[in-house]
């Protein structure tokens, strides 16, 4: 993190009045240009010169910049001198656009009074456009649209304008037409912020009432709490209290957000967005969604806050070398400091040894965490196939939440099982409705409706089991619609389902790390594909290795990895033993990349790759 240093130049000398503050965020479907617009707004307000601008200054994790996505929401304060000559304070909060990070979007929205909706002039409304708008409206935010990418030849701004009005019901007649990439119309957006987004209300003289919308762990300062003040003032030396956890602390520093850095100031007051530090060592003491108040003069009731993140996807993570187990634990703990939605608990696998069962918001979240663990903490990991949380109602009347298929009780002890179902909205051009409906059908989808946005585009609504979409659904969607479909989902709830545990036996031994839960109707097909896939993944061994898929002890599919026939260096040339040894060393390296399960060597990637069962 690069939040260091003091940034004195732009601290405003004048008293800031509440009506000159605007707290807002930008929401958009992925790749519609949200981060680019944020960059341009920062640039135009003069906080940084063009020369200092790095592309996407708000995305300060390497990974974000590489993948072009925004993972952790970031905030920045801009000083804008409007056309009317007045100076305004803009608190711009960047939000992630991917469906996995809805939770992060949600917490950002809680700190805002309004939102800019960016719509791509070439693509129009997409699934996440809708999802994010609804999310913003749920938070009582005023939303105004902006049509981006008008510089592209395929842009159809007028059509998109109509679409926004018809589909979302927002007045788009005044929507600025812009090209964030080229910096066109950005000033119109800045002006529109002043007119379309309300100034914060709240009483600066009332007792302190501030919402924690994010936090960050810094090894020098402790927890840095991001907050939005509803009422009152927050200043250095003040004794504050977190209303939910009851934790008390003395404020050491308050300030606001410069681009990529924290800028200390004397005081934050009602309507403002900023941060404070209070030597808080444990991030759990400053929980996101909690309300901060003054110990001596507490407010009467806490803000409603918002629901905590529920991990939706679980997988097992194991160090490929057992001695690195403590390193993995340390790394997970450190990541969790800045990512409250990451969950983990120790677990043991017969095949893989000691590791952790980890919970994530979604697949992308999981991939990001895995990549960070390997990159930033230099860990070599084996991850098991991801799964969802099942509810298992037992015959003894109790219910268990199952995150690891290996823990499924005996069939006789199970009364019934439930699986998570999501409401999915898929936006697609009409020519691909057929293939997409077929895909949803294959994934046990329940058809709800088709709504036509215009003659050529429709929103398909389906109820889908979460475990059918967590892995390769998105890829399948893209490939069957030639990239044109967009997709968003939210958890609907749990439903009873005919679920079974599939065990995979390698060389007649069940491998716990390969077990998974599957719907009974699709079990045969899945078992067959798993065996085929594993056959490709497992290299030939000294003996034939049978691979079997079994449900409840009954084998339903089988493949065999044929034994290695020949691997011999016929001529040991002259006295060149070193050369021979190099060859053997190479061989030994290959063996090291394998995990020995029973007497079979399985490549580490195989545990993850087995779920990549392309359906077409």
Partner 1 sequence: MIPAAGAAGECTGGDCLPVHFYSSSRNTVTSVVGYVRKTRGRVLNYSENMQEFFQKDAGVRIYLHIPFCVRKCLYCDFLSMPQGEETRERYVNALLCEIMHQGDCPPGTPVETIFFGGGTPSILEERQLDAILDALHERFCVPRDAEISLEMNPGTADSEKLRAMREMGINRLSIGVQAMHDGELKLLGRIHTVEEAREAFQLARKAGFENINIDLMSALPGQTFRDWSDTLAEAVGWGPEHISAYSLIIEPGTPFSAMYESGDLPPVPEEETDRQMYRFTGEYLAGKGYRQYEISNYAKPGRACRHNTGYWTGQEYLGFGIGAASCAGGMRFSNTRDLQEYVRAMAIPDILAVRTDLHRLTEREKMEEFMFLGLRMTAGVSRTAFASRFGKQIEDVYGEVLQKQIRQGVIIPTEDGVRLTQRGVDVSNYVLADYLL
For 422, the enclosing helix (H) or strand (E) is: strand 414-429
Give the range of 176-184, 392-400, 475-483, 573-581 binding partner 1 by CB under 8 A: 573-581
Output the CA torsion sign for 147, 148, 149, 151.
positive
- Residues in contact with 2: Cβ distance below 8 Å, sequence separation at least 6, in sequence order: 60, 260, 261
* Shortest Å distance, C-beta 591 to partner 1: 7
Nearer to partner 1, 51 or 565 (CB): 565
* Phi and psi angles of residue 144, each rounded to the nearest 5 degrees, phi first: -130, 140
For partner 1, the closer CB: 195 or 587: 587
Question: Least distance from C-beta 567 to partner 1, angstroms?
Answer: 5
Q: Which is nearer to partner 1, 212 or 597 (CB)?
A: 597
Number of neighbours of residue 152 by Cβ within 10 angstroms? 14
- Residue among 397, 483, 553, 575 that touches partner 1 (CB under 8 A): 575
Site for partner 1 in 151-210 (CB under 8 A): none
**Contact call for residue 508 and partner 1 (CB under 8 A):** no
Q: Which of 504, 492, 432 has its CA nearest to residue 466?
A: 492
Least distance CB 561 / partner 1 (angstroms): 14
Which of 198, 183, 205 is closest to 38 using CA atoms?
A: 183
Least distance from partner 1 to the Cβ atom of residue 568, Å: 5
Distance CA 332, CA 359 (A): 11
DSSP string, 255-323: EEEETTEEEEESEEETT-EEEEE-----GGGS-TT-EEEESSS--SS-----PPPPP-EEEEEEESSGG
Distance CA 19, CA 33 (A): 29
Total number of residues that touch partner 1 (CB under 8 A): 26
| CB closer to partner 1, 239 vs 581 | 581
DSSP string, 545-565: EEEEEEETTEEEEEEEEPPP-
Tell how strand 446-454 and strand 457-465 pair up. Answer: antiparallel
Report the site for partner 1 in 18-47 (rule: CB under 8 A): none
**Beta carbon of residue 594, minimum distance to partner 1 (angstroms, whole number):** 12
Stretch 589-608 residues interacting with partner 1 (CB under 8 A): 591, 599
Closest contact distance (angstroms) between CB of 592 and partner 1 is 10
Is the CB of 140 or the CB of 576 nearer to partner 1?
576
Helix (H) or strand (E) holding 11: none
Pairing of strands 222-231, 87-94: unpaired
Find, among 538, 525, 534, 537, the residue nearest to 615 by Cα. Answer: 525
Minimum CB–partner distance for residue 266 and partner 1 (Å): 58
With CB under 8 A as the contact rule, the residue among 576, 593, 605, 612 that binds partner 1 is 576
H-helix or E-strand containing 459? Answer: strand 457-465
Q: Where are the alpha helices (DSSP H) in 380-465?
A: 433-442
Per DSSP, the residues of 90-154 read EEEEE---SGGGHHHHHHHHTT-SEEEEEEETTT-S-HHHHHHHHHHHHTT-EEEEEEE-TTSTT
Which one among 498, 583, 605, 614 touches partner 1, defined by CB under 8 A? Answer: 583
Q: Which residues pair with 490 in a beta bridge?
A: 423
- Cβ distance 513 to 604 under 8 Å? no
Q: Looking at beta carbons only, is 195 or 560 nearer to partner 1?
A: 560
Which positions from 511 through 570 interact with partner 1, judged by CB under 8 A? 542-543, 564-570
| Cβ atoms 263, 317 nearer than 8 A | no
Question: Does residue 581 touch partner 1 according to CB under 8 A?
Answer: yes
Contact segment (CB under 8 A) with partner 1 among 31-39, 146-154, 319-327, 581-589 equals: 581-589
From the CB of 573, what's the least distance to partner 1, in Å? 7
Q: Work out which of 237, 397, 483, 574 binds partner 1, going by CB under 8 A.
A: 574
Whether 538 contacts 548, CB under 8 Å: no
Name which position in 587, 593, 605, 614 contacts partner 1 (CB under 8 A): 587
Q: Which is nearer to partner 1, 214 or 601 (CB)?
A: 601
Which of residues 577, 593, 605, 612 is near partner 1 by CB under 8 A? 577
Q: Which of 24, 227, 196 is nearest to 113 (CA)?
A: 24
**For partner 1, which is the closer residue by CB, 195 or 599?**
599
Q: Identify which range of 25-33, 175-183, 522-530, 574-582 contacts partner 1 by CB under 8 A.
A: 574-582
Residues whose CB is less than 8 angstroms from the CB of residue 599 and which lie 6 or more positions away in sequence, other chains included: 507
Q: How far apart are CA 573 and CA 184, in angstroms?
A: 71
296 contributes a contact to partner 1 by CB under 8 A: no
CB 320 → partner 1: shortest distance, Å? 19
Q: Which is nearer to partner 1, 281 or 591 (CB)?
A: 591
CB of 535 to partner 1, least distance (A): 18
Nearer residue to partner 1 within complex by CB, 13 or 566: 566
Residues 356, 326 contacting (CB under 8 angstroms):
no
Instruction: Please say which residue, 159 or 582, places its beta carbon nearer to partner 1.
Output: 582
Supply the minimum distance, in Å, between the C-beta of residue 323 and partner 1. 18
Looking at the Cβ atoms of 12 and 564, the one nearer to partner 1 is 564
DSSP H or E segment with residue 454? strand 446-454
Bridge-based pairing state of the strands 21-28 and 74-81: unpaired
The CB-of-353 to partner 1 minimum distance in angstroms stands at 18
Q: How far is the CB of 540 from partner 1 (least distance, A)?
A: 10
- Kindly list the residues in this chain that would bind partner 1 in the complex (CB under 8 A): 542-543, 564-578, 580-581, 583-585, 587-588, 591, 599
């Amino acid at each position: 993190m690069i939040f260091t240093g003091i940034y004195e130049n732009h601290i405003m000398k004048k008293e800031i009045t509440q009506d000159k503050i605007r707290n807002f965020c930008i929401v958009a479907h992925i790749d519609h240009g949200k981060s680019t617009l944020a960059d341009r707004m920062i640039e135009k307000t003069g906080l940084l010169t063009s020369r200092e601008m790095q592309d996407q200054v708000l995305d300060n994790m390497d990974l974000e910049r590489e993948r072009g996505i925004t993972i952790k929401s970031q905030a920045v304060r801009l000083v804008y001198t409007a056309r009317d000559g007045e100076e305004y304070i803009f608190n711009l909060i960047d939000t992630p656009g991917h469906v996995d990070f809805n939770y992060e979007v949600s917490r950002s929205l809680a700190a805002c009074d309004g939102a800019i909706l960016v719509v791509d002039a070439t693509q129009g409304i997409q699934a996440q456009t809708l999802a994010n708008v609804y999310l913003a409206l749920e938070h009582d935010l005023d939303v105004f649209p902006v049509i981006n990418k008008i510089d592209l030849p395929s842009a159809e701004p007028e059509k998109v304008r109509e679409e926004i009005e018809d589909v979302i019901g927002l007045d788009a007649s005044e929507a600025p037409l812009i090209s964030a990439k080229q910096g066109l119309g950005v000033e119109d957006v800045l002006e529109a912020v002043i007119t379309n987004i309300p100034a914060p209300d709240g009483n600066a003289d009332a007792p302190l009432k501030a919402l924690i919308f994010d936090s960050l762990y810094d090894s020098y300062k402790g927890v840095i709490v991001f907050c939005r003040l509803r009422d009152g003032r927050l200043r250095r030396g003040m004794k504050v209290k977190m209303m939910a956890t009851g934790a008390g602390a003395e404020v050491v520093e308050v300030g606001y957000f410069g681009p990529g850095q924290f800028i200390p100031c004397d005081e934050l007051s009602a309507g403002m967005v900023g941060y404070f530090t209070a030597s808080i060592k444990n991030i759990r003491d400053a929980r996101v969604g909690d309300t901060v108040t003054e110990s001596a003069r507490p407010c009467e009731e806490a803000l409603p806050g918002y629901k905590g993140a529920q991990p939706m996807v679980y997988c097992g993570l194991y160090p490929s070398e057992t001695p690195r187990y403590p390193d993995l634990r340390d790394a997970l703990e450190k990541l969790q400091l800045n990512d409250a939605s990451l969950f983990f608990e120790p677990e043991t696998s017969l095949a893989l040894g000691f590791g952790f069962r980890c919970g994530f918001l979604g697949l992308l979240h999981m991939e990001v965490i895995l990549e960070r663990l390997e990159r930033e903490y230099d860990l070599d990991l084996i991850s098991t196939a991801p799964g969802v949380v099942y509810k298992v109602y037992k015959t003894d009347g109790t219910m268990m939440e199952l995150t690891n298929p290996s823990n499924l009780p005996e069939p006789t002890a199970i009364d019934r099982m439930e699986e998570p179902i999501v409401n999915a909205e898929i936006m697609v051009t009409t020519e691909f409705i057929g293939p997409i409906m077929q895909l949803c059908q294959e994934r046990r989808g329940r058809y709800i409706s088709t709504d036509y946005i215009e003659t050529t585009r429709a929103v398909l609504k389906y109820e889908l089991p979460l475990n059918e979409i967590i892995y390769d659904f998105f890829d399948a969607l893209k490939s069957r619609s030639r990239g044109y479909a967009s997709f968003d989902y939210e958890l609907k709830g749990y439903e009873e389902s005919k679920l079974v545990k599939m065990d995979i036996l390698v060389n007649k031994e069940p491998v716990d790390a390969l077990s998974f839960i599957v719907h009974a109707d699709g079990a045969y097909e899945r078992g067959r594909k798993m065996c085929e896939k594993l056959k490709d993944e497992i290299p030939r061994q000294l003996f034939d290795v049978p691979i079997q898929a079994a449900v409840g002890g009954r084998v339903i599919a089988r493949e065999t990895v044929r034994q290695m026939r020949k691997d011999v260096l016929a001529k040991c040339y002259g006295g060149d033993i070193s050369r021979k040894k190099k060859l053997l060393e190479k061989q030994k390296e290959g063996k090291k990349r394998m995990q020995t399960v029973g007497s079979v060597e399985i490549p580490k990637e195989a545990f993850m790759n087995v779920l990549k069962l392309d359906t077409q």
